[in-house]
Structures are given as structure tokens and as C-alpha cells.
Amino acid sequence: MEQASQEKRLMTEIIKYGKYALEMEMKREESLIAQANQMATAFSFSTAALYILFQIGLEYYPSLSSTFLVIAIAPITYFLLLSLLFAFLASWRWNQGSFHTAGDFFNYVMQHEKQFIEEDYAFLTEWKAALTEKHSRIYTLNNRRGVFIRISMWLFIVVLVLVFIFGTIALLKIGGII
């Protein structure tokens, strides 16, 4: 009797841990999706600024040829779009599965009624399995989101470097240095 009580207590603590771990993974998911949305916002502002500068360059600075501006804008736009794509993929609501409905679980218990009556902690075992499956799926999806966000950020850094390079060249052309 004492052994069964200890096993049930241990399983109860495992369930508590599983619930906490799942809760933390859900918070991580929310944070990653928010970060991906911030990347998409940065993309929007960057694109607007880029095309405004493109129009200003065409209109007011004859030393900047349209060919130069197109050559400058094309790779920047390409990497901005790639950055947006990965930010979008990171914010995608991937199928993460869900817990069984109460009706489905009831039917499962009724099909295995003898096991649930005889085993002192059969319900705890089912809880553990459900939590483990859900946590595992969200953990995998969050890791994927993290990779997509890192790729999106690196692509955005490439954009910033290109803007710096082409911006410096444009300023030198406007100043008549080159």
C-alpha cells in the first residue's frame, strides 16, 4: 500500500512538472510569434523608407543614375523579402495538435474501464502522456520558429549592410567624390 502511495505521489509531481513545462513552452511560443511580428513591422518601415529614398534619389540627385539606384534597390529588396518570408514562417500557426475532448476521453476510459479501476494512478499516466505529447509538439515547433527568426534577423542585417554600402556610395556620388 505504501509503495502504491509513493508511486502515485511521484506521478502527481511529474504531472505538476509537465503542466509547468507546457505552460512555459506556451509562453515561449507567444514570445517567438511576437518577435516574428516585430520583424514584419521592421520590414514594413524599411521598405517604405527604402522606396521613398529611391524616389528622392531619382528626382533630386542627377548624379545618381537610375541604373545605380536599381542596382542598389534590387538586392536590398530581395533580402528584405526573404527576411519577411522567414518572419512570416516564424509567426505561422503550425498545427500543434490538441488534447482530446472530454467526450473522446470519456469513451477511451470506458473502453479501458477495467484498467482505470484496477490501476491506482491510470488517470495520472494518461495525463502524463497527453502533456508529454503536447509539450513535445510545441517544443519542436518553437525550435523551428527560433530558427526562422534567426534567419530573418540575419537577412535583415544583410539589408542594413547593403543600405550602408550603397548609401555611402550614393553620398560620395552626390558629393562629387566619385
Model confidence at 152, pLDDT cuts 50, 70, 90, reads very high
Q: What is the mean pLDDT of residues 134-150?
A: 93
Phi/psi zone of residue 99: left (φ > 0), alpha (ψ -120 to 50 degrees), beta?
Answer: beta
% the chain with pLDDT above 90: 39
Model confidence at 147, pLDDT cuts 50, 70, 90, reads very high
- H helices of 61-121, in order, are 66-91, 102-111, 113-118
Q: Can you give the length of the chain in residues?
A: 178
Rounded to whole angstroms, how far apart are CA atoms 138 and 134?
6
Tally: H helices and E strands in the chain: 5, 0
Chain-centroid distance of CA 73 in Å reads 28
Residue 1 has pLDDT above 60, yes or no: no
Residue 175 has pLDDT above 90, yes or no: no
The end-to-end CA distance of the chain, in Å, is 89
Q: What is the mean pLDDT of residues 149-156?
A: 95
Supply the mean pLDDT for the chain: 87
pTM of the entire predicted model: 0.79
Rounded to whole angstroms, how far apart are CA atoms 3 and 11?
12
State residue 58's pLDDT score.
81
User: What pLDDT, in 10s, does the model give residues 94-129?
Assistant: 777 777 777 877 787 788 778 877 777 778 888 888
State residue 109's pLDDT score.
79
3-state secondary structure of 124: helix
Measure the CA angle with vertex 83, ends 137 and 67; round to 5°. Answer: 165
Rounded to whole angstroms, how far apart are CA atoms 87 and 66?
31
**115 against 77, higher pLDDT:** 77
State residue 95's pLDDT score.
78
- H helices of the chain, in order, are 2-60, 66-91, 102-111, 113-118, 122-174
Residue 151 has pLDDT above 90, yes or no: yes
Q: What is the mean pLDDT of residues 132-160?
A: 93
